[in-house]
Structure 1
Amino acid sequence: MEDKEFRYKNELVQEALKEFAEKGFDSASLNQIIKRSGISKGSFYHHFDNKETLFSSVVQRVADEKLAFINQWLQQQGNGIKTAGFFEILQLQMEGGVEFALQYPELNQFLMSILKNPELMAKAEELSPRYYDEVFDPLIKDAVERGELRSDLEPNFMKQLIKYSLMNMGEIMLENIGDELNKEELMEQSRQFLDFLQHGLKA
């Protein structure tokens, strides 16, 4: 139902992002979102079915912006990225994620609000497959062919393992670091996560 030429779409999505981040899905006021974005209810319902489709649009927008930022971040790392291994690329992606959080705190606050809220998390997980497919399908395929990842495990299983590990890593960071963003602490947590992912817990 969304029209890409909808004049106030950016304002609407921005106001929805703030409202969902602050209050969660159930408590978020659609009336307040509509009022602050400067549109009529009729115009809203012409482009969105309900609050849930608006939330889906916000999640998709933030995910797309984060993915675009990380892709640009990877390109800025020079030609070495072309020969980098799976775990080196994953490290760079996580570094890009940290930079995204620091440069776009409002978008990161929305993502963190999802991690804190099981209700929002469940809704966001329904929308996440395309993001992880786009990022990890080619990486895992190449890593298996190069012998970096085990060939006896199904690629889809490895993708799911990485997906849920990354999601839960966000929760671990929240517990250990809190809402204050500290680049050094975030990078150290990322390093430990990758070390675990590569080597496990075995001494």
Structure 2
Amino acid sequence: MKQEEKNRRSRECIEEAAIRSFARQGPDNANLNQLCRENGISKGKLYHYYASKDDLLVACVQRIVDRLVAGICAFSPDPEQGVATNLHVYYKERIDFWYDDPEALSLIWYCLHLTNEALRSRLTEQRHRFDACMKDKTLEIIHTAHERVNVSDEELYSTMRVMYNHLLIQYMHRVVDLKAEGDTAGMERERQELLHRYDRFIQILLYGILA
């Protein structure tokens, strides 16, 4: 195995373990010595790749955003379907991403509420990368239908972004709590409720309050 591949696998192992640790304890409370001990990672190897806990946190967030962006870019709207149907499928995939990886959601949630301004600044690039990808794909889905839109792209996306942020965070955070409790049925119930609310929001946004 080439050294480059060994390094990639080592980083992947460390970062996936760190995502779980950061999600469980929060970045402030996570202990790198405990992380190494629980996951069989040598401290020498960890500090070879990451100079500090902040460096490791930034790498973990980048890994999550890489997966998010890859999933968003892979989605192709069906030109034979209407806007509502394509948005339904698109948002279902976004929900399923967090449903399948609630630890990633917990870590992103913590990062959205960081009080350390220096660390928040280091994460700005990843936030902008995710936002730009979300915006491009959302507008692509809407314009694929070739329907007349009476508001600007900026106004349209800003409205949908608020919906995505607040509705998703509210319900998916419940999913994380239910997973911690081992309530699989509750997780699925919240997932379906979130998707239903997305569908209703989209119907109202596209066709009016009486839709």
Do both proteins adopt the same fold according to a TM-score greater than 0.5, normalized to the shorter chain?
Answer: yes
Per the normalisation by structure 1, the TM-score is 0.70
Contact 2:65 2:130 in 1 (8 A): yes
Q: 1:98 aligns with which of 81, 95, 109?
A: 95
Q: 2:52 aligns with which of 28, 50, 53?
A: 50
Aligned residue number for residue 105 of structure 2: 111
Aligned residue number for residue 167 of structure 1: 165
Quote the RMSD (CA, aligned, Å).
3.7
Aligned residue number for residue 183 of structure 2: none
Distance 1:135 1:176, change over 3 A: closer
Distance 1:61 1:196, change over 3 A: farther
Distance 1:89 1:52, change over 3 A: farther
Structure 1 residue identity aligned to 2:52: N
Distance 1:201 1:52, change over 3 A: farther
Residue segments in structure 1 that go unaligned for 5+ positions in a row = none
In 1, the alpha carbon distance for the partners of 2:55 and 2:111 equals: 18
CA displacement at 1:197 relative to structure 2: 3.9
Query: Between the two proteins, what is the percent identity of the paired residues?
Result: 20
Residue segments in structure 2 that go unaligned for 5+ positions in a row = 179-185
3-state DSSP class of the match of 2:187? Answer: coil
Contact 2:204 2:210 in 1 (8 A): no
Aligned residue number for residue 185 of structure 1: 193
CA displacement at 1:59 relative to structure 2: 2.0
CA offsets per residue over residues 152-179 of structure 1, 9 Å max, x none?
x3x3454344333311112332577763
CA offsets per residue over residues 81-126 of structure 1, 9 Å max, x none?
1344444332211111233344x2xx22330453377525994973
CA displacement at 1:37 relative to structure 2: 4.0
In 2, the alpha carbon distance for the partners of 1:173 and 1:185 equals: 8
- 1:62 and 2:64 aligned: yes
Contact 2:18 2:60 in 1 (8 A): yes
In 2, the alpha carbon distance for the partners of 1:18 and 1:84 equals: 38
Aligned residue number for residue 149 of structure 2: 149
Count residues in correspondence: 191
In 2, the alpha carbon distance for the partners of 1:193 and 1:115 equals: 23
Contact 1:8 1:39 in 2 (8 A): no
In 2, the alpha carbon distance for the partners of 1:111 and 1:167 equals: 12
After TM superposition, the structure 1 stretch with the greater mean CA deviation from structure 2, 46-55 or 177-186, is 177-186
Per the normalisation by structure 2, the TM-score is 0.68
